[in-house]
């Protein structure tokens, strides 16, 4: 061993002994009668460290020790915040009253998705069929071909926007079921006492028999309370329509006002 190496080792060992003495003093342990070496030193240092940590924990068990200057504090476990999923969509308070209000980004997205489908038509006309209409049915559990598809269309639009219809996001193919789901979940806005917002679903009783039978998407609201829509299965196609105030039965608010 060279003199330089020997001097370096001696310096390191001296510093280790100083640290050992400091730890003993901090932990309250009595000073060693003679220098501790080798495995005995390692065990002594470990015991002193454990005693010191025990004292720190007894004083402030809920507060982590601050990191020394120039060092990084231990990383705490990261717990991600809850997020909306494709199944649950936007969380609503149970049975909360729904108030009219302006639409937000999601409402606008719902309307944009519906508008992009305008012109899709049945093939052949009157068949309730077509390649794109078959795609709409995929958003509704248990959907059947050859059936009226206005509700299949709105379920598909809602799914594409990330706010699916139904308790499980399963889509609903019968308009009265959509109305019932909305009423049970605080999403129903009666046309007689509320106003639509862009992105709402709009429900109609066209036969006037008390059973709702048609549904579309609100894509615009006029100052006089009238509104514009995009509707599937309207004249055998996805079509735009315009209504005056009070011409609908009610509205299904897929997202809270302003969302």
Mean pLDDT of 214-230: 95
Q: What is the pLDDT of residue 72?
A: 40
CA count, 13 A, side-chain hemisphere, 97 = 5
User: At CA 200, angle to CA 107 and CA 142, rounded to 5?
Assistant: 105
Helix/strand number for the chain, H first, E second? 6, 6
Domain range enclosing 179:
105-252
Tokens of 54: 């025990």
Together in a domain, 124 and 191: yes
The residues pairing with 204 across neighbouring beta strands, listed in sequence order, are 214
The verdict on residue 239 lying in a domain is yes
Among 190, 120, 186, which Cα is nearest to 153's? Answer: 120
Together in a domain, 42 and 144: no
Q: What is the pLDDT of residue 103?
A: 72
pLDDT digits 0-9 by tens, 34-66: 444 555 555 555 564 554 444 434 434 344 444
List the alpha helices (DSSP H) in the chain: 3-27, 38-59, 105-115, 131-137, 150-160, 175-184
pLDDT digits 0-9 by tens, 232-257: 999 999 999 999 999 999 999 999 87
Mean pLDDT of 198-214: 96
Together in a domain, 139 and 247: yes
Together in a domain, 109 and 183: yes
Together in a domain, 54 and 116: no
pLDDT digits 0-9 by tens, 83-140: 333 333 333 443 334 334 457 899 999 999 999 999 999 999 999 999 999 999 999 9
Q: Return d(Cα 1, Cα 90) in angstroms, integer.
A: 72
Together in a domain, 131 and 230: yes
Averaged pLDDT score across all residues of the chain: 76
């Amino acid at each position: 061993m060279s003199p330089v190496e020997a001097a370096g080792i001696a310096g390191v060992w001296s510093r280790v002994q100083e640290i050992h003495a400091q730890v003993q003093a901090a932990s309250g342990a009595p000073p060693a009668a003679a220098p501790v070496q080798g495995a005995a030193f390692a065990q002594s240092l470990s015991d002193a460290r454990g005693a010191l940590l025990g004292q720190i924990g007894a004083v402030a068990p809920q507060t982590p020790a601050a990191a020394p200057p120039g060092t990084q504090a231990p990383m705490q476990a990261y717990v991600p915040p809850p997020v909306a999923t494709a199944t649950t969509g936007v969380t609503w308070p149970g049975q909360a009253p729904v108030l009219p209000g302006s639409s937000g980004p999601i409402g606008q997205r719902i309307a944009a998705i519906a508008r992009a489908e305008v012109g899709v038509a049945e093939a052949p006309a009157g068949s309730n069929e077509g390649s794109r209409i078959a795609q709409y049915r995929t958003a509704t559990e248990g959907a059947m071909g050859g059936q009226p598809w206005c509700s299949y269309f709105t379920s598909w639009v809602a799914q594409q926007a990330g706010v699916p219809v139904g308790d499980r996001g399963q889509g609903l193919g019968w308009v009265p079921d959509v109305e019932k789901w909305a009423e049970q979940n605080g999403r129903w806005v009666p046309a007689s006492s509320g106003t639509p917002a862009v992105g709402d679903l709009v429900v109609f009783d066209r036969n006037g028999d008390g059973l709702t039978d048609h549904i579309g998407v609100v894509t615009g609201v006029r100052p006089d309370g009238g509104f514009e829509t995009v509707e599937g299965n309207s004249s055998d196609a996805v079509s735009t329509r315009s209504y005056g105030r009070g011409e609908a039965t009610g509205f299904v608010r897929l997202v809270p006002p302003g969302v």
